A = this chain, B = another copy of it.
Amino acid sequence: MIDSLRRYMPVLDWGSRYNRSAFSNDMIAAVIVTIMLIPQSLAYALLAGLPPEAGIYASIAPILLYTVFGSSRALAVGPVAVVSLLTASAIGQVAEQGTAGYAVAALTLAFLSGAFLVLLGLFRLGFIANFLSHPVIAGFITASGILIATSQLRHVLGIDGHGHTLPEMLWSLLENIGEINWPTLVIGVSASAFLFWARKGLKPLLRRLGLRPLLADILTKAGPVAAVVATTLAVWQFDLAASGVAIVGDVPQSLPPLTLPSFSPDLLGALLLPAILISIIGFVESVSVAQTLAAKKRQRIDPDQELIGLGAANLGAAFTGGFPVTGGFSRSVVNYDAGAETPAAGAFTALGLAIAAVALTPLVYFLPKATLAATIIVAVLSLVDLSILKRTWSYSRADFSAVAVTIALTLGLGVEVGVGAGVVLSLLLHLYKTSKPHVAEVGLVPGTQHFRNILRHEVETDPTLVTLRIDQSLFFVNARFLEDLIQNRVTEGCAIRNVVLMCSAVNEVDFSALESLEAVNARLTDMGVGLHLSEVKGPVMDRLNRSHFLDQMNGRVFLSQYDAWMALRQPDGPKGQATAAALG
């Protein structure tokens, strides 16, 4: 009982060894992460099309739940850019932004996503995420970065804009370009310029001013806070809201409210597929961050437990006014660099954000949306990496095509089509590669008892005997290929009287492959050709013995391929001529 609790709640493990030193390290990390998260949470709520407080709520309960159920020591959970974009795209199709239905749809999406992740974790199905290939993920993240940055341009320009694809967004910006709000543009551009500079130039400057490297690093990461403070003060001081600068405005002073997702079958049905996509993309990103950070301390994470942790976080978001969340790269790195030792750092961060939600929200009344847009743009442009096109091109055309298709479709037709096409393409490439098992026709190396590929070695063969070495387990994806291969090989050589399948590398024969072998046997019998097996492994033989195949098979099972050769070759026939026939 305790063991099973411990398995699903890693907190019981690290919590029992928690001490004062870990506490103070976690506390320091939490303060730093909290300061960084306030503008980030507001910004990603904006990106998801939700009111700013939703971003803060989405960082409180989810972090607490991840603390209890997650397996990574450093992962910081909350709204992240790509997931917020996917959220906006998914719920934009079922509700109008700004309506109550929109917020409920966001809760429902988080609920579905959380439930799906928990189910995957409980059934240990995390391997499903493996089927998003790296090129597809890289292409998708890059294209999403471009889409997100473009979607925020309207806030920087102070104009209207809409659309879920790059052409739609650009067209909509062009249509409204005449209505630029100049004070907004000044704020947006200067905030962006400052933030870009801060990423590269602030740290060396702080070091030259005599700060310690760690502190300089952390202050650099807090650049967005400086931009927020400066632009908020400017708007307040010069009353820029009256000049048309869009501001955050009233944010309720409250702890996260208790909320309920919708359980309407229509809405659940419409959001199921987007929820699955969001879950898997979020999980893949999160696990790779967690693995990288864990390796630095020679720790390990458990991907199936991560599913449960992230699932619990999303369920938490669904019931406390949030939206879909996952482990974020930048916040996790800050958390790790600031010295977080245990997930308790996350709990303290949640506490900090709860205080902010209750006490600090009036301070962001005059915060211009252009500043939030600038923080998003600067953050996501670091995700854009078009060099992946060049790297995959030089490495493999198949991988290149997966990247190119994913980028093109994500930009041109939207995130869901893009990632969907990427997944389908990955799967098709995978299915195609595995549907053709490697099969080599082999012959005897003269003077030995070894059999080698007739295409690569000088070997003895017999025109009446075909020996095929099967270099892969046999199951339904490649069973039919083997049927075709044997039938084609036998119909092309009229002298063939026996076929031997050399099974030294076959670890499994599933029921489909068994039926294929039965079909091959029946067809070879019709042609008057014998079917034999050699070097069948013990477990495979046990299983074949439980079927009727061995009774029906018209030939024999030989312990070694050499036995088969000695028994089946033509005693006085010509040697070494079948090679040419087989190649011809």
Contacts and interface: CB of A to CB of B under 8 A. Distances in A.
Contact of A426 (B127, B288, B476): B476
A298 B490 contact: yes
Interface stretch (A84-92, A199-207, A391-399, A460-468): A391-399
A539 to B, nearest CB: 12
Contact of A476 (B133, B431, B480, B522): B133
A85 B415 CA distance: 37
A148 B352 CA distance: 65
Interface in A377-409: 391-392, 394-396, 398-399
A519 B291 contact: yes
B291 A487 contact: yes
B491 A438 contact: no
A263 interface: no
Contact of A396 (B430, B431, B438, B510): B510
A510 to B, nearest CB: 6
Contacts of A543: 395-396
Contact of A478 (B130, B490, B527): B130
A288 B127 contact: no
A438 B506 CA distance: 12
Nearest to A288: B519
Contacts of A442: none
A566 interface: no
Given A399-B511, A431-B131, A527-B298, A547 B391 contact: yes
A516 B512 CA distance: 33
A3 interface: no
Contact of A135 (B300, B436, B512): B512
A526 B296 CA distance: 5
B392 A511 contact: yes
Interface string A515-531: 11001001110110000
A415 B354 CA distance: 52
Interface string A66-96: 0000000000000000000000000000000
Contacts of A524: 295
A556 interface: no
A130 B527 contact: no
23 contacts: A129-B480, A130-B481, A131-B431, A131-B477, A133-B475, A133-B476, A133-B510, A133-B511, A134-B512, A134-B516, A291-B484, A291-B523, A292-B519, A298-B527, A299-B491, A391-B547, A392-B511, A394-B546, A394-B547, A395-B514, A396-B510, A430-B476, A434-B434
The 9 closest A-B pairs by CB, nearest first: A295-B523, A133-B476, A399-B511, A134-B512, A127-B435, A133-B512, A134-B515, A296-B526, A300-B491
Given A131-B435, A299-B491, A427-B427, 17 more contacts: A127-B432, A127-B481, A130-B435, A130-B477, A131-B477, A133-B476, A133-B512, A291-B484, A295-B487, A295-B524, A298-B526, A300-B488, A391-B511, A391-B547, A392-B511, A394-B547, A433-B508
